[in-house]
Amino acid sequence: MKELTVGEDVVMYFDTRGGYNNRNKITFVGSDIIKQDENIVGSYWIYDELYRMESGYEAHMLLAGEEMIELIVRCNDIIIEEE
């Protein structure tokens, strides 16, 4: 992960060189972070689970860097795009 910004939305930017597509930005709209381990920037996304909630989604992400990193975000919507 190249960058993580947290505000009303959580926005993640990725380096997609050598990947399967060029979609390098994920926006979790109207989000709350439920769990966030340290050292997320510079890690690699390796696994995720997505749950449908009454008012949106809950995304559970597992990332790898110097150690395993967990991020859980609850949001109203998810936008994945190329920027």
Residues whose CB falls within 8 Å of the CB of residue 29, separated by 6 or more in sequence, listed in order:
9, 75, 76, 77, 78, 79
Question: Which pLDDT band, with edges at 50, 70 and 90, does 16 fall under?
Answer: confident
**pLDDT exceeds cutoff 90 at 3:** yes
pTM for this one?
A: 0.91
How many helices (H) and strands (E) are present in the chain, helices listed first? Answer: 0, 8
Q: Which one, of 24, 68, 76, lies nearest residue 44 by Cα?
A: 68
Number of C-beta neighbours around residue 71 at 10 A: 23
Whole-angstrom distance, CA of residue 27 vs CA of residue 10: 6
Q: What is the pLDDT of residues 20-70, one digit of tens each?
A: 888 999 999 999 999 999 989 999 889 999 999 999 999 999 999 889 999
Report whether 24 contacts 16 (CB < 8 A): yes
